[in-house]
Structure 1
Amino acid sequence: MRFASLGLLLLTLSSCSKDSEGAGGDHMTATDVGDALDERAIERGILPDLNNLVFAGRFETRSELGTDKFCAVDNGSGTYKIGVLAVFGPESKCEGQGSAKIEGEKVQITLAGKGNCSFDAEYDGVELRFPGGVGEECESYCTSRASLSGTSYFMVEEGDDGARRALGRDIERLCD
Structure 2
Amino acid sequence: MLAAALLVLAGCSQEATPSSEPEGATLEQAAIARGVVRDPATAQPVGLYAREGDRLCITTGRIGTFVDYGEGIGCSAHGTYSRDGERMRVDFGKGCAFDAAFYGDGVRFPGSLPAGCEAACRGRASLSGLQFDRLSESGSEAAALRDPAGRGLCG
If the TM-score is normalised by the length of the shorter chain, which range does it land in?
A: 0.7 to 0.9
What secondary structure is seen at the aligned counterpart in 2 of 1:161?
A: helix
Is 1:135 aligned to 2:125, yes or no?
no
Paired residues of 1:86 and 1:151 also in contact (CA < 8 A): no
What secondary structure is seen at the aligned counterpart in 1 of 2:38?
A: coil
What secondary structure is seen at the aligned counterpart in 2 of 1:145?
A: coil
Alignment match, 1:60: 50
Matches for 1:15-164 after TM superposition, within 5 Å: 18-19=16-17, 29=19, 31=21, 37-62=27-52, 67-74=53-60, 80-112=61-93, 115-164=94-143
Aligned length: 142
Taking the aligned partners of 1:32 and 1:69, their CA distance within structure 2 comes to 33
The letter for the 2-side match of 1:18 is A
Segment of structure 1 superposing worse, 45-54 or 147-156: 45-54
The letter for the 2-side match of 1:86 is V
Alignment match, 2:7: none
* Shift in Å, 1:30: 7.8
Q: CA RMSD in A?
A: 2.5
Taking the aligned partners of 2:20 and 2:98, their CA distance within structure 1 comes to 36
Query: How high is the TM-score relative to the length of structure 1?
Result: 0.71
**Runs of at least 5 residues in structure 2 that lack an aligned partner in the other structure:** 1-13
Paired residues of 1:126 and 1:155 also in contact (CA < 8 A): yes
Paired residues of 1:57 and 1:162 also in contact (CA < 8 A): yes
Aligned-pair identity in percent equals 27
Larger Rg: 2
Distance 1:94 1:36, change over 3 A: closer
Taking the aligned partners of 1:97 and 1:117, their CA distance within structure 2 comes to 10
| 1:111-170 Cα deviation digits (max 9, x unpaired) | 13xx22101111111221111111211111110211111111111101311211322112
Taking the aligned partners of 1:169 and 1:35, their CA distance within structure 2 comes to 40
Taking the aligned partners of 1:32 and 1:88, their CA distance within structure 2 comes to 40
**Runs of at least 5 residues in structure 1 that lack an aligned partner in the other structure:** 1-14, 20-27, 75-79
The letter for the 2-side match of 1:103 is D
Query: How high is the TM-score relative to the length of structure 2?
Result: 0.79
Distance 1:42 1:145, change over 3 A: same
